[in-house]
Amino acid sequence: MNIFKKTLTALFLMTALASTSAYANGPRDVKVRAAADLTLAKTQEAYELLEKGGDKTEILKLLSEVRQSQKEFRYEQTERLRQKAGNYLKDAREELEKGDAHALTNLKATLDAYKEMMVIYNAAH
């Protein structure tokens, strides 16, 4: 009877651990990863376009896409960093609309923040 209880307990713990790891890599993680990749790619594209002196409306369109995708790039350990990146993004957008040359600096800060978020996210997953 004692062996039966130990076996049952071990089986229960293995099942619990297996379900936890399956949950950790569930559909939510796939959605967050996709949003993270999209956010980083669009930010990089906007930065390169701005650096080359690209079309202002195209850059603003990219920044709008970044703004939307970064909302899905939510991970508890990077939440404060996401908020900072959002502030940099907002500042870069406003400066770009005004024609201020400082927009490139803020967009670079945004890109760096998103890259740091990806490092933290990837280390945990």
- Token couple for 79: 């939440």
What is the per-residue DSSP string for 44-91? Answer: HHHHHHHHTT--HHHHHHHHHHHHHHTTT---GGGHHHHHHHHHHHHH
If one counts every other C-beta atom within 10 angstroms of the C-beta of residue 107, the result is 29
CB 86 within 8 A of CB 109: no
User: What integer pLDDT is reported at residue 59 of this predicted model?
Assistant: 94
pLDDT score recorded for residue 2: 64
pLDDT of residue 22: 45
pTM: 0.75
The whole-number pLDDT of residue 30 equals: 87
> Residue 102 in contact with residue 59, Cβ under 8 Å?
no
* Sequential pLDDT tens for the chain (125 residues): 666 565 656 556 666 555 444 445 567 788 889 999 999 999 999 999 999 999 999 999 999 999 999 989 888 888 999 999 999 999 999 999 998 888 999 999 999 999 999 999 988 87
Contacts of residue 114, defined as CB under 8 A and 6 or more positions apart, other chains included, come to: 36, 39, 40, 43, 70, 73, 85
Domains identified in the chain and CATH numbers = 28-69+77-124 (1.20.120)
The pLDDT value given to residue 100 = 86
Contact 78, 124 (CB under 8 A): no
